[in-house]
Structure 1
Amino acid sequence: MRILVAEDTRAAGWSPVGDLRRNGHRTVVVGTGHAAVTACRQADLVLLDLRLPDLDGLEVCRRIRETTRVPVIALTDAATGIERVLALRAGADDCLDKPCTFQELLARIEALARRSGPGAGPLPAVGPMTLGPLHIDTGAREVRVSGAPVALTRKEFDLLHGLARHAGSVVGRQHLMREVWRLDEGVGVRASRTLDTHVSSLRRKLGHGEWIRSARGVGFQLALEPTGAAAAARPRTSPPRGVLVAVSDADTRTALVSQLRRHGCHARACGTGAEALAVHEAFDLLLVNAQLPDMDGVEVCRRVRAVGDMPVIAITAPGRTLDRILFLRAGADDCVAHQDDPRELLARAEAVLRRARSDRPRPRGSALRRGRLRLDTTTGGVRFADRAVRLTRKEFELLHRLASEPRTVHARARLIADIWGAGAGCPGSGPGSGPGSRPGSGRTLDTHVSAVRSKIGLPGLIVTVRGVGFRFGEA
């Protein structure tokens, strides 16, 4: 693996470079943030020290994420966890306190490599950008609002484009002044007022002052969501829709579920490994700890990974480096200490889901329509008769597969293999084919078909072909 290590080469301290080379990795070491941004396209993974002499490490992370999907592990020596949260929000895939054991670093590198694959290269180029009623043609440098042209100066266009590339996120004042006016850190009050003047002019010309929001003392945010090609190319960061919390301690379970729900997640708790294995496929993310009453959490993780690619985050006790390594080796995507700031748990969950989403091949086209049914293949959204329908990831994949070939009868075994993985096995065969059958079995397929029919509210949407499988019905 080609690993780019960005660290301050002038400062003495812990460095993973020697151990990486001894383990057969090819490493390139750079000492500045600008060099890291330039070299990241040729790397399979970036180890990014957040303390660099020329650029803030968070800014380096943002710039890398703007141009490539290469996995990034941020390294920090901060005394608090807030820098880990900020790094993950800036686009890092993982964040580690340094110094750390090389065994854990290696396990985390391998966990990222499992998710990365061929999708880690440069992001696809995005031409025209559409954000609700706002359309930005980057080639012609033209802007339209609800089809009507808007005359902008060159700097106003560059400023709007800079905000649009990070739509929904706050973009720092320094970042905007550097990108639009090519000004370095420490610019004076006059330059800062120039930015405010241009923002004010943009609000007036667009005719919707609420679109550009001010974050006092920080920067500005374009409060519009991208659609089409811009949305497909942009790494998506959003709270997980459904989280299964498999934790043995009742108080910890209750606290985690409460925290997740306060942040807009649908969360459910279970206290045993058997229950987690029985229901986990109805969720987007699994949180599991090491000590479950009926089986080891590492074994739960291993079984989940054996039948699919569901994202898994392990919750371990502080200081249990060996537990973290075992979980990562068993297929977990990340590990977090259970008493950490809930904001870090959410940030890690979003980073894991971001990787999982970008790793999955996207069906061609942005939308699939069948009668009153509309499937948005970019966002995973579903609407039936203009009503939003909330499906889990596997339910969406099942419905999309059937709707994509509405005249085809899809064999049960083929659906199970394609949606739950080739190792899922054949339906209803072998041990465990009864009520407690393992994930990926025929019973799981039947459960998902039933759930889709119920959520859409149309029993004839999926037709059962007895002894063969299923086909798409009427919508």
Structure 2
Amino acid sequence: MLKILVVEDNPELAQAYRLALSQRGHDVQIEGTGAGGARAAIADEPDVVLLDLMLPDIDGFSVCRHIRQDSDVPIIMLTARDDDGDVIGGLDSGADDYVVKPVSPGVLEARIRAVMRSRRPATADPEAATALEYGGLRVDLASPVVTRDGVELELSPNELRLLMALLEHQGQVLSREQLLEQAWGSADVPDLRLVNAAVQRLRLKIEEDPADPQLLHTVRGFGYRLG
């Protein structure tokens, strides 16, 4: 059972989420405003937050950024707006996933399972490497702290997992489906734009010139490669 916080101002839709998720054994809390959702996400320590983009007081992007100041709770952004700019904005504000409404209860449950799987810590291995490095990039696996040429970078959880997947497969081309599996915990998540948007944001943080990337390359028709 998960403790799920739903931040949704439409009472009928909020109750539909509550019913669907409660029937699957989850404990569901509803907040109808952005301010209330931000407070509950920090004070009540839910396992996952379902966050509507369009709220009456504060938009979901702002709520997500506010939560990220104090909490690393998995956040799935829910919206009726199917736009690349909104996907990028949601991921850039710290969301782990972005779901376009309407969404079936089964798909919503699958997306929740995916973000929860992606947050599970790896099994400790005493002989495993303590850091991943390439081209001035370094991920300290014990922290994990990411630096470029010794300067610490601030990455979202998905950006971090994406970078680690690419570092673990340096020189190899990874498809978008493979990166979904690595960074989001499931290749069944249908929206490959999540990968494209996360790569775009990651380049802004790790490349000297994101318009002319020297580290993270696009292999057209196949996917992405580090190195």
Q: Give your verdict on TM over 0.5.
A: yes
Contact 2:161–2:182 (8 Å) recurs in 1: no
Contact 2:6–2:50 (8 Å) recurs in 1: yes
Partner of 2:65: 62
Counterpart code for 2:182: P
Deviation at 1:16, TM superposition (A): 1.9
User: Superposed, which structure 2 residues align to 1:186-225 within 5 Å?
Assistant: none
Deviation at 1:350, TM superposition (A): 7.0
Higher alpha-carbon Rg: 1
Partner of 2:138: none
Counterpart code for 1:336: D
Report the TM-score, using the length of structure 2 for normalisation. 0.61
Aligned: 1:78 with 2:81: yes
Contact 1:58–1:87 (8 Å) recurs in 2: yes
Partner of 2:191: 336
SS of equivalent residue, structure 2 residue 83: coil
**Among 45, 51, 55, the residue aligned to 1:52:** 55
Between the aligned partners of 1:284 and 1:113, the Cα distance in structure 2 is 27
Aligned: 1:347 with 2:197: yes
- Residues 34-80 of structure 1: CA distance to partner in whole angstroms, max 9, x if unpaired? 11111113111000001111101110011111111100000011143
Between the aligned partners of 1:25 and 1:68, the Cα distance in structure 2 is 21
- Residues 381-411 of structure 1: CA distance to partner in whole angstroms, max 9, x if unpaired? xxxxxxxxx8xxxxxxxxxxxxxxxxxxxxx
Aligned: 1:105 with 2:112: no
Aligned: 1:24 with 2:25: yes
SS of equivalent residue, structure 2 residue 36: helix
Call closer, same or farther: CA 1:63–1:240 in 2, change over 3 Å: same
Between the aligned partners of 1:4 and 1:117, the Cα distance in structure 2 is 19
Contact 1:76–1:83 (8 Å) recurs in 2: no
Deviation at 1:312, TM superposition (A): 5.7
Partner of 1:174: none
Contact 1:43–1:70 (8 Å) recurs in 2: yes
Contact 1:312–1:332 (8 Å) recurs in 2: no
User: Superposed, which structure 2 residues align to 1:108-119 within 5 Å?
Assistant: 108-117=111-120
Q: CA RMSD in A?
A: 4.2
- How many residue pairs are counted as aligned between the two chains? 175
Aligned: 1:287 with 2:137: no
Between the aligned partners of 1:243 and 1:286, the Cα distance in structure 2 is 9
SS of equivalent residue, structure 2 residue 119: helix
User: Superposed, which structure 2 residues align to 1:282-321 within 5 Å?
Assistant: 282=170, 286-288=174-176, 311=182
Between the aligned partners of 1:285 and 1:114, the Cα distance in structure 2 is 24
Call closer, same or farther: CA 1:85–1:109 in 2, change over 3 Å: same
Partner of 1:33: 34
User: Superposed, which structure 2 residues align to 1:374-393 within 5 Å?
Assistant: none
Higher relative contact order (CA 8 A, sep 6+): 2
- Residues 67-124 of structure 1: CA distance to partner in whole angstroms, max 9, x if unpaired? 11100000011143321221111110000100112211111111111122479xxxxx
Deviation at 1:285, TM superposition (A): 7.8
Deviation at 1:347, TM superposition (A): 2.1
Name stretches of at least 5 consecutive residues in structure 2 with no aligned partner. Answer: 123-147, 207-214, 216-226
Partner of 2:5: 4
Contact 2:54–2:79 (8 Å) recurs in 1: yes
Partner of 1:162: none
Between the aligned partners of 2:17 and 2:54, the Cα distance in structure 1 is 15
**Among 93, 110, 113, the residue aligned to 1:90:** 93
SS of equivalent residue, structure 2 residue 191: strand
Between the aligned partners of 1:113 and 1:285, the Cα distance in structure 2 is 26
Contact 1:62–1:90 (8 Å) recurs in 2: yes
Between the aligned partners of 1:17 and 1:109, the Cα distance in structure 2 is 14
Counterpart code for 1:6: V
Q: Give aligned-pair identity as a percent.
A: 31
Contact 1:84–1:95 (8 Å) recurs in 2: yes
